[in-house]
Structure 1
Amino acid sequence: RAISWVMVGGLVAAIVGPQLVIWTRDTIPDAMFAGSFLSQAVLGLLALPVLFMLRAPKVRKDPNVVHDTGRPLGEILRSPRFMLSVAAGVCSYALMTFVMTAAPIAMVGHGHSVDHAALGIQWHVLAMFAPSFFTGRLITRFGKEKITALGLVLIAFSAIIALGGFDVGHFWGALIFLGIGWNFGFIGATAMVTDCHTPAERGKAQGANDFIMFGTVACASFFAGSLLHSSGWETINWLVFPIVALVLVPLILRLKPKEAAAEA
């Protein structure tokens, strides 16, 4: 639930971000969107005072307790459960970034306005963060793996909608389900990772997870534009299905022994 509540902050970004693009894209003559980038930079600077005021509690170490560093990082990385958890998070986040990055460009390329593209991203970001109010409860009730699997299914469903046509409704519908799928998949996978390490291993396990995840997300973001230019919007969405299947199948196979044990 703590992860979910942190994600709620993205609702503000969902409303402010796209509207800034609409309001400021023409503020600098002969340089469309330069004003949008400058306004985003100003927002980043405004966040600095808030970060400086953050006071994280210090961890007190008991001198009578022997310091435990846990397993070596290599052993943690080789754990099948850790690999599946990281793969689920990478799949959810990278696919979302991959499709989201290409979507507004594809919308404009298919004759829709910049305003329609910005509003599509607004609906998408709202869909990313609004479910956070109840995602934690769903995970508590149904389990981390099931909610993660549901997120991956919704990401695949978003690709089906996108492949259905090029109307504004197709783009917006795909982006909305993509956002919801990311929320379930990412939060569920992040919660799965927390079960894969001891408190002593938290730093290196979470660090490795973040490095792998966000490194892959950065690559997906860079790759999306070039693939959209060379192969088109349909190819972007067709690639979603095999990648989802690579993670969803082992995730479902992992669920079956758990369900059998619960019924026994």
Structure 2
Amino acid sequence: MNGSTDITARGRSTAALIGGVAITNTSMVGASTVATLIGADRLSAAWSGVPNAAGVVGTAAGTLGLAALMSRRGTRLALTAGYAVALLGAAVAGYAVVAGAMVPFLLGMVLLGVGNGGAQLSRYCAAELYPPHRRGFVVGLVVWIGTVGAVVGPNLMQPSSEGAAAAGLPALTGPFLVAAVAAAGALAASAALPRLRVAARSRPAGRVPGTVWRQPAVVTALSAMVAGQVAMVTLMTMTPLYMHDHHHGLGAVGLVLTFHLAGMFGLAPLSGHLADRFGGLVASLTGVAVLVVSVLLASLGPAPGLARLTVALFLLGLGWNFTFVGGSSQLTGALDPAYRTRVQGGVDAVVWSASAVASVAAGAVLAAGGFAVLAIATGVVAVLPVPLLLRALRRSPEPSAGPVERPSAVRR
């Protein structure tokens, strides 16, 4: 295969990967939002985060399992399998809403999360197609494509609910019908991934050595990504319920979530460029600072003012973006390619497992102390990795592009 063919195939691969991410993000917005409302209705406000926690558990399991499958059998098979599981999950969750059955609903959320795990791994797959000095930007590009979900996802909640009601189904079935269509689209996109020439690499036997997990790049990336993810999930998952309890309709909830998701994804190329130019540590510290401003703004006032919440949730998403892209860029550049995929999957599994706990805890904190207390607790979580990040930055002040290597195609 000649160089021009490689470049063309690389472009097709990138397009297929970001297409699956865009479609998946769009569907997960509506599904996760109505899952909180269903949890509050079927369980209680204190346990309203359980359905989203189930989805996050699925994402954690998906990133871990699909990364292992990816390292053995290639990207195309792994992502196709993940999106197929998500399609099944959308069907199960939709049936459970109709039947009013909570256990199948939680199972459906877990299966949907598995597909989301595949979408999360796609940023690493795309970055591996490019030279080390461009990988932060490529990670940011894949995250940026989630802007499609930010714009489209929240605005599909009301029309899909109305469509489901017109068809004689419970209104909250609508977002899961959208999720089923989206999973089918992501499945088609992943099946279209071309086969590329594979760069030679060693294939270590057994599990990843402990020394790899203890590398400074892994530890700092993990700490920043966990803190950013937990902070974002804690506040974001409870905002729809908080607004609902203060008589804001789905339209207002959709507006706030649109700005939140725009913050999460819209400026990702900027955070990727920052990570390439100054290093992932600087990007992560920037994210923590933005998260602190967000939670301080969210904690003001006794009632959910729409303008204030909109700005606070936008900044919440932006802060997450910087920590997520900053940490991810470290993992794409500082690891031995022989271990890279499994370490990336392991880190993502820890990140999503932590956010599953946050989803459940957020409901309990909201019920016990109110939204302001929840926001302050979120800020405390956000700043926890700062000493570790600053110490690592002092020891390694210059950004590193990682080991010099040829751009390698992801196995298909």
Structure-2-length-normalised TM-score: 0.58
For residues 330 and 232 of structure 2, the distance between their equivalents in structure 1, rounded to whole angstroms, comes to 19
2:315 pairs, out of 177, 180, 183, with 177
Aligned residue in 1 for 2:346: 208
Aligned residue in 1 for 2:54: none
Cα deviation for residue 117 of structure 1 reads 0.8
Aligned residue in 2 for 1:55: 194
RMSD: 2.5
Structure 2: stretches of 5+ with no match in the other structure = 1-136, 399-412
Amino acid paired to 2:310: W
Residues 227 and 384, structure 2, Cα contact 8 Å, conserved in 1:
no
Structure 1: stretches of 5+ with no match in the other structure = none
1:40 pairs, out of 179, 200, 203, with 179
- What's the CA shift string for 1:16-45, capped at 9, x where partnerless? 111110212233157332223322322222
Aligned residue in 2 for 1:137: 273
Q: Kindly tell me: are residues 73 and 232 of structure 1, through their superposed partners in 2, closer, same or farther at Cα, counting changes over 3 Å?
A: farther
Aligned residue in 2 for 1:20: 156
Aligned residue in 1 for 2:209: 73
Amino acid paired to 1:35: G
Note if 1:108 corresponds to 2:244.
yes
Residues 70 and 198, structure 1, Cα contact 8 Å, conserved in 2:
no
Amino acid paired to 1:121: L
Residues 230 and 381, structure 2, Cα contact 8 Å, conserved in 1:
no
Cα deviation for residue 80 of structure 1 reads 4.1
Q: Secondary structure at the match of 1:57?
A: coil
Note if 1:234 corresponds to 2:364.
no
- What's the CA shift string for 1:130-157, capped at 9, x where partnerless? 1023222222232221111010111111
1:99 pairs, out of 226, 235, 238, with 235
Note if 1:127 corresponds to 2:263.
yes
Residues 70 and 200, structure 1, Cα contact 8 Å, conserved in 2:
no
Aligned positions, number: 258
Tell me which moved more, 66-75 or 86-95.
66-75
Cα deviation for residue 195 of structure 1 reads 4.2
Q: Kindly tell me: are residues 78 and 211 of structure 1, through their superposed partners in 2, closer, same or farther at Cα, counting changes over 3 Å?
A: same
For residues 393 and 149 of structure 2, the distance between their equivalents in structure 1, rounded to whole angstroms, comes to 35
Identity of aligned residues (%): 28
Residues 73 and 204, structure 1, Cα contact 8 Å, conserved in 2:
no
Residues 91 and 244, structure 1, Cα contact 8 Å, conserved in 2:
yes
For residues 332 and 169 of structure 2, the distance between their equivalents in structure 1, rounded to whole angstroms, comes to 50
